[in-house]
């Protein structure tokens, strides 16, 4: 966890730098300027995710009010009888087992005050979009097998990111199980699907790393306490639930990739359509020459939002996701910019194929499938990694803006291919030059 004073300093520096403008803040995120590498003294990922997906404001008073309203929703869900987690039905040998008469949800239902001048109790307020409301199509299905749901979530969470010390901590895992269980109960049309735990797992880990325990002292001003409230570890579950719900539901990620096989197939067909318009040679190679159907490899790309394809460093994935949630698209885009995320992902996948065009063309079926299932990503430096993600996102937005114009989409594909050919030519020339120089040195 970061220190309280460091969190306060970073947040104030960010607000001051962007003059309280959410638009300027989002532009800096998507342009690759607001990163831990470029702005180490003011970068905070929690601020990105909470501003983009909860508050839509950099005003401290507004931030606190929006957070309070969203936290009330999760607080009510936790104490709703339909949301009660059946820990007691688990095997008594399970680390998650809890007798039915014990107090549950100790980690996330314990709400301490946040210090001087900040009354932070959760009162009942009117919520426009209650996840339990029948009008929102999210009334809990009483016939759902809650026990199987809980066991399935636990099995996946226990296998989550085995190399990360964060998930060797049992309270962290249990908290994540609780959030996923309540989310699945609130969204019975989807329930719980494998893969959801990996997405929320990354978000939860990064926000937890910036959470703070607010000390009960008189050393902080009211504005300081408003900032610390944004990072309050006692409301980590509340904020992660709200962020995950909006990220997955309002973006259309659930609708396009998880809700049904038909919607997933439609997304795959949309990918094939765009690929044919942007790079006919890759489309021909995969579908006609190799007969390598997209469904053999692309489902993981879509459902896990490229988290496996961008390498083992989870920071690379988060850099891309930061940009996706901060998207500000052209005026012809209707509705929330979040709804563009599924198609932006498709255009990013097409670019990843174009990055490996030479290898795809030269490979046979098994070699190509292996390449796509184990997409090779290797960065020589953090700067190279950040630039790779910045360009991926930028080019994806350019394609997205041209998606309804076949000619412009094709022309942009040609432009990207020419840039890649020029880069490959330069790299080959440098290799040959280096080899010749080495031979000359050997002859001396």
Q: Looking at the structure, tell me whether residues 231 and 95 fall in a common domain.
A: yes
Domain count of the fold of the chain: 2
**Residue 435: inside a domain:** no
Burial 169-206 (b: 16+ CB within 10 A, else e): eeebbbbbbbbbbbbbbbbeebbbeebbbbbbbbbbbb
**Residue 426: inside a domain:** no
* Counts for the chain of helices (H) and strands (E), in that order: 20, 0
How distant, in Å, are the alpha carbons of 229, 256, 270, 406 from that of 267? 39, 6, 5, 18
Contact between residue 355 and residue 420 where contact means Cβ atoms under 8 Å apart? yes
Q: Single out the residue of 43, 14, 56 nearest to residue 337, CA to CA.
A: 56
Rg of the chain over Cα atoms, rounded to whole angstroms, equals 24
3-state secondary structure (DSSP) of residue 403: coil
Q: Looking at the structure, tell me whether residues 141 and 231 fall in a common domain.
A: yes
Q: Looking at the structure, tell me whether residues 272 and 314 fall in a common domain.
A: yes
Q: Looking at the structure, tell me whether residues 145 and 212 fall in a common domain.
A: yes
Give the CATH number for residue 289: 1.10.472.80
Convert the pLDDT of each residue in 290-341 to its tens digit: 999 999 999 999 999 999 999 889 999 999 999 999 999 865 555 679 999 9
Q: Single out the residue of 115, 111, 110, 66 nearest to residue 224, CA to CA.
A: 115
Q: Looking at the structure, tell me whether residues 276 and 366 fall in a common domain.
A: yes
Q: Looking at the structure, tell me whether residues 263 and 353 fall in a common domain.
A: yes
**Residue 123: inside a domain:** no
Q: What's the maximum distance between 2 C-alpha atoms anywhere in the chain? A: 85
**Residue 365: inside a domain:** yes
- Which of 207, 227, 250 terminates a domain? The answer is 250
- Which of 250, 277, 294 terminates a domain? The answer is 250
Please, is 7 exposed, middle or buried when counting C-beta atoms within 10 Å of its C-beta (0-12, 13-18, 19+)? buried
- Position 102 scores a pLDDT of 62
Q: Looking at the structure, tell me whether residues 48 and 150 fall in a common domain.
A: yes
Please, is 273 exposed, middle or buried when counting C-beta atoms within 10 Å of its C-beta (0-12, 13-18, 19+)? middle
Question: What is the DSSP code string of 376-400?
Answer: ----SSHHHHHHHHHHHHHHHHHHH
Convert the pLDDT of each residue in 54-91 to its tens digit: 999 999 999 999 999 999 999 999 999 999 999 999 99
3-state secondary structure (DSSP) of residue 40: coil
Q: Looking at the structure, tell me whether residues 75 and 39 fall in a common domain.
A: yes
3-state secondary structure (DSSP) of residue 157: helix
Query: Average pLDDT, whole number, for the chain?
Result: 89
Find residue 212's DSSP bridge partners.
232
Residue 230 has pLDDT above 60, yes or no: yes
Residue 125 has pLDDT above 60, yes or no: no
Residue 20 has pLDDT above 90, yes or no: yes
Tally of CB atoms within 10 A around 363: 18
> Tokens 């080899």 belong to which residue?
435
**Residue 143: inside a domain:** yes
**Residue 266: inside a domain:** yes
- Mean pLDDT (whole number) for 225-254: 98
Q: Residue 257 gets which letter from DSSP?
A: I
Residue 33 has pLDDT above 60, yes or no: yes
Q: Print the domain residue range for 270.
A: 256-416
Task: Record the tokens describing residue 90, joined without a space.
Answer: 């688990």
Q: Looking at the structure, tell me whether residues 297 and 390 fall in a common domain.
A: yes
Contact between residue 227 and residue 212 where contact means Cβ atoms under 8 Å apart? no
Backbone angles phi, psi at 171, to 5 degrees: -55, -35
Task: Record the tokens describing residue 376, joined without a space.
Answer: 């090779």
Backbone angles phi, psi at 353, to 5 degrees: -65, -45
Please, is 376 exposed, middle or buried when counting C-beta atoms within 10 Å of its C-beta (0-12, 13-18, 19+)? exposed
Q: Looking at the structure, tell me whether residues 83 and 227 fall in a common domain.
A: yes
Please, is 371 exposed, middle or buried when counting C-beta atoms within 10 Å of its C-beta (0-12, 13-18, 19+)? middle
In the chain, the N- to C-terminal Cα span, in Å, equals 58
**Residue 441: inside a domain:** no
Q: Looking at the structure, tell me whether residues 224 and 285 fall in a common domain.
A: no
Q: Looking at the structure, tell me whether residues 267 and 244 fall in a common domain.
A: no
**Residue 439: inside a domain:** no
- Position 334 scores a pLDDT of 58
Residue 98 has pLDDT above 80, yes or no: yes
- Mean pLDDT (whole number) for 200-210: 97
Angle between helices 60-78 and 236-245 (to 10 degrees): 90
Give start and end residues of each alpha helix (H) in 79-221.
Answer: 106-109, 146-158, 170-186, 196-209
Residues 6+ apart with CB under 8 A from 105: 78, 85, 178
Q: What's the rounded Cα separation, in Å, for the pair 56 and 70?
A: 13
- Which of 234, 250, 266 terminates a domain? The answer is 250
Contact between residue 338 and residue 250 where contact means Cβ atoms under 8 Å apart? yes
**Of the listed ranges 46-50, 154-158, 160-164, 204-208, the one predicted with least confidence:** 160-164
């Amino acid at each position: 966890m970061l220190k309280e004073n460091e969190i306060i300093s970073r947040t104030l520096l960010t607000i001051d730098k962007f003059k309280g403008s959410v638009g300027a803040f989002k532009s800096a995120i998507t342009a690759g300027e607001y990163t831990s590498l470029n702005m180490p003294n003011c970068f905070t990922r929690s601020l990105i995710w909470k501003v983009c997906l909860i508050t839509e404001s950099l005003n401290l008073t507004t931030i606190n009010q929006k957070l309070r309203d969203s936290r009330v929703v999760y607080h009510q869900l936790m104490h709703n009888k339909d949301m009660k987690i059946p820990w007691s039905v688990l095997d008594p040998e399970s680390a998650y087992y809890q007798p039915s008469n014990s107090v549950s949800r100790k980690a996330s239902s314990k709400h301490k005050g946040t210090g001087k001048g900040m009354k932070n109790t959760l009162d009942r307020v009117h919520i426009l979009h209650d996840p339990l409301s029948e009008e929102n199509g999210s009334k809990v299905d009483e016939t759902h097998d809650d026990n199987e749901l809980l066991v399935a979530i636990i099995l996946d969470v226990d296998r989550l990111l085995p190399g990360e010390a964060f998930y060797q901590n049992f309270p962290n895992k249990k908290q994540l199980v609780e959030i996923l269980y309540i989310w699945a109960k609130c969204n019975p049309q989807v329930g719980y699907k494998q893969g959801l735990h990996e997405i929320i797992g990354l978000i939860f880990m990064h926000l937890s790393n910036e959470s703070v325990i607010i000390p009960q002292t008189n050393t902080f001003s009211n504005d300081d306490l408003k900032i610390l409230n944004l990072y309050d570890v006692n409301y980590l579950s509340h904020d992660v639930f709200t962020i995950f719900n909006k990220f997955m539901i309002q973006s259309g990620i659930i609708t396009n990739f998880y809700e049904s096989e038909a919607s997933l197939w439609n997304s795959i067909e949309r990918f094939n359509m765009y690929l044919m318009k942007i790079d006919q040679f890759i489309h021909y190679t995969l579908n006609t020459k190799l007969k390598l159907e997209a469904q053999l490899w692309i489902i993981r790309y879509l459902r896990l939002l490229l988290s496996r394809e961008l390498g083992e460093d989870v920071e690379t994935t988060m850099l891309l996701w930061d940009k996706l949630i901060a998207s500000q698209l052209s005026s012809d885009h209707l509705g929330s910019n979040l709804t563009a995320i599924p198609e932006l992902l498709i255009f990013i996948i097409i670019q990843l194929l174009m990055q490996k065009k030479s290898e795809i063309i030269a490979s046979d079926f098994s070699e190509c499938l292996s390449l796509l299932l184990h997409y090779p990503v290797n960065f020589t430096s953090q700067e190279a990694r950040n630039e790779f993600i910045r360009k991926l996102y930028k080019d994806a937005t350019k394609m997205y803006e041209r998606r309804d114009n076949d000619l412009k989409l094709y022309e942009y594909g040609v432009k990207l291919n020419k840039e890649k050919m020029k880069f490959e030519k330069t790299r080959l020339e440098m290799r040959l030059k280096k080899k010749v120089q080495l031979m000359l040195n050997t002859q001396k």
